[in-house]
């Protein structure tokens, strides 16, 4: 079999790369050894956001009486698990149907390189000769040393989606990253008694601002979610409960545990050394800023060092395909890729922080607008949060932004389209539906312009 582009892995990056290649007229083959759709669709962002939406509905029940809505509301985690599976199945069927309509050949099996341009897929030893290959094999959960997964008792995030949720009410969530931040909230909203253990401070994040982390910490604490700064040294699984021994020596009893302690790149079994592809010390595929790992081989997503998000993988697919079609035409710039956290408050950001802007020689100015006076936010009983913009005072270029509050993951896209040059002017001149949360972007721009003397950059004045 011969093709223009061979994609190994069908997660968001691999799927996007295959779609882009086919839409641009390239004969495309995609190979998947496990579940079509990869982590994001089956065990990550898609089903997790489904659960988060349900958790937010439950959380909003605190305001129902004031809104004239009466009756009891409670969460059914088992049914919520079944609902996310239905969503995943629907998306996966649509996904595979679209690939078929585009003429992408989808092969199930394990791919391994014979040389730079030849891949063998087992079982069956199908040989594929490709003009270019894209490795998009993703990542897998990483458990602490000495801890093994036990079905229904000791889970990592993949198992949480692969199997029905355990019945026990007492849950230990272990981890200080985004997955732990999100699932501590989701499980608590569904009535679980959550004990949250984190070796590192979950709110010490350089990418989001200190005020953002302060608001998130307060929102979680308001719901009884305060992490204990401790790691897990060992775990004993009994007949009816589990015992976790913390690094402090103290013990914690629970019905089951969820470990959200990081992920590792999946690169084993690819025989990449035969294709002159290198790994770094952590097992990530080494690429240049065009996503090239070897002259005709590219790698994208979690198997490459960087933030392990679907957002990044989708963007890198675009970079890789552009460079396959026109070598050297596009270089990776992750500053424009948004990041989001879905917890007691939604947080989203894009671009540079103030510190990063200063390090790059800019003179950053900040524009701010809070949702606490937004008619739309007040009408939703969710006035927490804000829009925060960072611009270069000298040029008026938008450098970055941050949104906190309901729908932050959607609103952040106001800042991701088009060039940073002129972005503030576009927002200032935009027409908005009223009342809308998005209006706060315009308010933040106007505040920024007035405070830092950017009226000429924003409004076209001299």
- Rounded to whole angstroms, how far apart are CA atoms 221 and 64? 21
Residue 127 has pLDDT above 90, yes or no: yes
Domains along the sequence of the chain with CATH: 2-140+264-335 (3.50.50.60), 154-261 (3.50.50.60), 345-459 (3.30.390.30)
Q: What is the mean pLDDT of residues 98-109?
A: 98
Tell me the C-alpha distance between 55 and 40, whole Å: 19
User: What would the mean pLDDT of 250-264 be, rounded to a whole number?
Assistant: 96
Q: Are 130 and 117 in contact (CB under 8 A)?
A: yes
In this predicted structure, what is the pLDDT of residue 462? 46
Residues acting as catalytic residues: 434
Give pLDDT, residue 458: 86
Please give the structure tokens belonging to residue 232. 């897990």
Token duo for residue 227: 């992490």
Mean pLDDT over all residues of the chain? 95
Tell me the per-residue pLDDT of 32-62, one tens digit each, with 9 for 90 and over: 999 999 999 999 999 999 999 999 999 999 8
Provide the pLDDT for residue 440: 98
pTM: 0.95
Per-residue pLDDT reduced to its tens digit, 168-196: 999 999 999 999 999 999 999 999 999 99
If you count them, how many residues does the chain have?
Answer: 462
On the question of pLDDT at 90 being above 90, the answer is: yes
What is the predicted pLDDT for the residue at 40?
Answer: 94
Whether the per-residue pLDDT at 78 is higher than 80: the answer is yes
Mean per-residue pLDDT for 331-345?
Answer: 95
The token pair at 311 is: 């957002």
| pLDDT higher than 50, residue 204 | yes
Q: Tell me what pLDDT residue 461 has.
A: 60
- Average the pLDDT over each of 61-75, 187-201, 321-335 and give the range with the smallest value: 61-75
């Amino acid at each position: 079999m011969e093709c223009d582009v061979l994609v190994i892995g069908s997660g968001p990056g691999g799927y996007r790369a295959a779609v882009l290649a086919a839409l641009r007229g390239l004969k495309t083959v995609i190979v998947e050894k496990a579940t079509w759709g990869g982590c994001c669709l089956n065990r990550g962002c898609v089903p997790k956001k489904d659960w988060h939406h349900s958790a937010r509905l439950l959380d909003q029940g605190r305001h129902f009486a004031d809104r004239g809505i009466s009756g009891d509301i409670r969460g059914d985690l088992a049914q919520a698990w079944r609902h996310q599976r239905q969503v995943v199945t629907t998306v996966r069927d649509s996904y595979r149907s679209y690939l078929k309509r585009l003429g992408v050949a989808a092969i199930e099996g394990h791919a391994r390189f014979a040389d730079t341009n030849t891949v063998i897929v087992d079982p069956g030893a199908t040989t594929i000769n490709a003009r270019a290959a894209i490795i998009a094999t993703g990542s897998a959960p990483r458990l602490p040393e000495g801890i093994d997964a036990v079905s229904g008792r000791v889970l990592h995030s993949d198992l949480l989606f692969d199997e029905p949720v355990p019945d026990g009410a007492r849950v230990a969530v272990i981890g200080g990253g985004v997955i732990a931040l999100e699932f501590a909230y989701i499980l608590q909203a569904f009535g679980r008694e959550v004990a949250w253990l984190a070796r590192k401070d979950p709110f010490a994040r350089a990418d989001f601002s200190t005020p953002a982390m302060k608001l998130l910490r307060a929102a979680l604490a308001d719901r009884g979610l305060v992490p204990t700064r401790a790691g897990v040294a060992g775990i004993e699984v009994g007949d009816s409960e589990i015992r976790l021994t913390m690094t402090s020596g103290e013990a914690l009893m629970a019905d089951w545990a969820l470990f959200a302690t990081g992920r590792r790149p999946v690169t084993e079994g690819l025989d990449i050394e035969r294709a002159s592809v290198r790994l770094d010390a952590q097992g990530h595929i080494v690429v240049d800023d065009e996503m090239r790992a070897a002259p005709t081989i590219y790698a994208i997503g979690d198997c490459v060092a960087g933030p392990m998000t679907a957002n990044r993988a989708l963007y890198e697919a675009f970079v890789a395909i552009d460079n396959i079609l026109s070598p050297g035409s596009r270089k990776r710039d992750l500053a424009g890729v948004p990041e989001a956290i879905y917890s007691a408050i939604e947080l989203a950001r894009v671009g540079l922080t103030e510190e990063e802007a200063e390090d790059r020689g800019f003179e950053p100015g900040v524009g701010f607008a809070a949702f606490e006076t937004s008619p739309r936010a007040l009408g939703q009983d969710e006035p927490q949060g804000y829009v925060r913009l960072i611009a270069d005072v000298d040029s008026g270029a938008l450098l970055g932004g941050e949104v906190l509050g309901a729908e932050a993951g959607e609103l952040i896209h106001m800042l991701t389209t088009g060039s940073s040059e002129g972005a503030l002017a576009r927002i200032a001149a935009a027409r908005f539906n009223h009342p809308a949360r998005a209006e706060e972007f315009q308010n933040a721009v106007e505040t920024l312009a007035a405070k830092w003397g950017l009226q000429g950059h924003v409004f076209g004045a001299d």
